Amino acid sequence: MLNPTMSPRTKRKLLIIGGAEDHSDDCVILRRFVELAGDGDARILVVAAAAQRQADAGDRYRRLFRDLGAGRVSVVAIPCRGAAEDPSAAREAGAATGVFFTGGDQLRLTTLLGGTRLFAALQAAHQSGMVVAGTSAGAAAMSDTMIVEGDSDDAPKKCTVKMAPGMGFLAKVVVDQHFAQRGRIGRLLSAIAQNPSVLGLGLDEDTAVEIEPDQPLWVVGSRTATVVDGQTIAHTNTSQSKPEEALAITGVTLHVLPSGYGYHLDKREVALPDGRMP
């Protein structure tokens, strides 16, 4: 059953942000999150577990969301896994209409939360309609498999990227953040070459994708989202190459999508701003 403050249009939505989103001008992306969470009726829970200085990151987003009109904003501190087993934290998650995962280190986030009472409560709340948002590390950890490390300055190689289990809010997609700004196309190509059935999603800074089940994702923000589709790969030497050898990848499909453009994850088709297929 949906939380009474949620409308059907917000059911099980994700807002995945490439990092460095605008905090001082129009705040388009953060404002959209507050809107999805219920505006004045929003009850937002900030999870800063990925951050090295959790209190600072939590307080910063608490102020931002309050300034943007959220009804209630709370921050949960997770200094250790034991804190994520606290029943009061799980109750906060169950009452929230939106959760926001800050940036930092995605592996710190998953190792602190994975398998805990708080994480189970967040999963259940999302299934009941709570919108889930994450920026930077919080974005990378959204998928069931996440990139935790990778060289941004080299050609695609087997050793370019290291993967680990993510939070699993998004299936069959690998997310990379700060994408154009840190030149991460090579490591996303490496990830997709090793598992072509999975889509690669590279998000520039101050750019997000809004995702709802059975609908195309839509791009929001000032830059672009890059979709890498490995299903069309005609040839790759991934299985034969040595770890330090450059990969061959032919036939991969790449889409660069600015704000207003969409993409059907299931159909693997672009949606133009007017809803048409190209």
Q: Which residues belong to the active site?
A: 136, 178, 205
Amino acid at 56: D
Nearest to 190 by CA among 204, 200, 205, 180: 200
- What single-letter DSSP state applies at residue 31? H
Give the residues across from 165 on adjacent strands: 145
- Secondary structure (3-state) at 23: coil
Q: Check if the beta carbon of residue 119 is closer than 8 Å to that of residue 27.
A: no
Euclidean distance between CA atoms 258 and 192, whole angstroms: 22
Euclidean distance between CA atoms 216 and 29, whole angstroms: 18
Q: Pull the structure tokens for residue 172.
A: 């069959």
Nearest to 18 by CA among 149, 112, 192, 135: 135
Q: Give CA 263 to chain center in angstroms.
A: 15
Euclidean distance between CA atoms 138 and 51, whole angstroms: 10
